[in-house]
Each structure stands twice: as C-alpha cells, then as structure tokens.
Structure 1
Amino acid sequence: MTTHVQPDERNWLDKLRTALTHDFEVQTARLTQLTADTGDPGGAHTQSALIAATRQSLDQITDALRRIAEGRYGICERCAASIPRERLEILPHARFCVPCQQKHAG
C-alpha cells in the first residue's frame, strides 16, 4: 500500500479488505455448492447461469483485493484519476471512474 494513505483511509481499506475476503469465502462456498451434481437436468440452464455469475463475482473480488495489495485500489485504470470513495462503497470492485466507465461500456 502506498505511504500517502491517510489513517482513516487505511482503516477503511482494512475493513474493505476484510469484507472482500469474507465475500470471497462466501462466493467460493456457493460455487462449490453450485458445481455439485444435483442430478436435476431441468435446472441445468439456471445452474449454469448462477455458476457464471458466481465466477464473475469471484474474479471481481480477487481483482479488487489485488489492487488493494498493490496500492492501486481506487485509481481509475483508464485515466489514473481517483475513483470517489462513494463509488467504491457502492461498487467495491470498480476499476474506472464514472466518466471512463461510461466510455468503456458505451
């Protein structure tokens, strides 16, 4: 983590890291349950969609934890501007500021 992080930001990042780690554990357990063979061919499509969504969530959590560890969390990957804390509180895995996200998605 970079040395210019304020103590209240460091505390917030520590809490966020803990919450993301917990979410990772919950999603990993969910993925284990979803990939167990239930023997119900009728629910295969729904189960496949749930597995894909869970894997995407795990990827997003892993990426956010990596950015925290590398000191890059909260920095837009496109323009290098700070991502507002309010956005990160709502969307902890955000990689882009709002203007860059709109350009990326559009």
Structure 2
Amino acid sequence: MSVDHRAVDQSWLADLRASLADDFAAQTARLRELTELNADTGDPSEAHNQSALLLATRRNIEQITGALSRISEGTYGACQKCRQNIPAERLEVLPHARFCVPCQEKHNK
C-alpha cells in the first residue's frame, strides 16, 4: 500500500501535521537546552557528545520542517527523486521521508 499524495486522507494529514508540530516544539526546546548547557567542562568526550547531540537535534528539526513544508505544498508522500508515491508503511515509520526506498538507497551511495 502506498500513499497517494494527491488524495491523502485529510484527517490523517491533520493528525500528522499536529504530531510533527509537537515534535518540532520538543526538538526546539531540546536544542535551546543543549545550547544553554554548552559549557566547556574540559572533558573532550563530553564536548564530542554535546556536539553530536546538537547536530542530531538540528538535523531532526530540519527533517520535521521539511515534512511540514511538503504537507503545506501538497507534495507530502511523493518521492522527491522519482515522484512515485512513498509507501504508507514507510511514512508511518519515518514521517519525514523524502524518498522511496529505492531512491533512498541510491541517494546514500
């Protein structure tokens, strides 16, 4: 089963938008907290961990923002490479997915 991005159930899309907005708020709060805690402890491993957490949080925010933009534009659920519908199962697991699995595999190479 795949999602036809042109005929997506509007209540499902509204629920997804609300869930992504909640995730965005949580990630933004996490980024603010990580930024405020960015005190230099002198421990290189702690600095590395802090840097990795900041990078991951920023990446999450970018992915969520992208998904919200695609919902607003009416392109959510369409692969950005081949324009085919992304399977609903993939979107349920990875709501910010931009590519179908075959295109994602090519993109990662």
* TM-score w.r.t. length of structure 2: 0.87
Pairwise CA distance, 1:102: 1.1
| Correspondence for 2:102 | 99
Q: C-alpha root-mean-square deviation of aligned residues, in Å?
A: 1.2
- Aligned mates of 2:29, 2:16 — CA distance in 1: 20
Higher relative contact order (CA 8 A, sep 6+): 2
Q: Report whether the alignment pairs 1:61 with 2:64.
A: yes
- Aligned mates of 2:42, 2:71 — CA distance in 1: 41
| Correspondence for 1:74 | 77
Q: Contact 2:40 / 2:47 at 8 angstroms: preserved in 1?
A: no
Q: How does 1:13-28 map to 2 (within 5 A)?
A: 13-28=13-28
Runs of 5+ in structure 2 lacking a partner?
1-5
Runs of 5+ in structure 1 lacking a partner?
none
Task: Write out per-residue CA displacement over residues 41-100 of structure 1, whole angstroms, 9 at most, x where no aligned residue.
Answer: 322111011000000000000000000000000000111000011100000110011111
* TM-score w.r.t. length of structure 1: 0.89
Sequence identity of aligned pairs in percent?
54
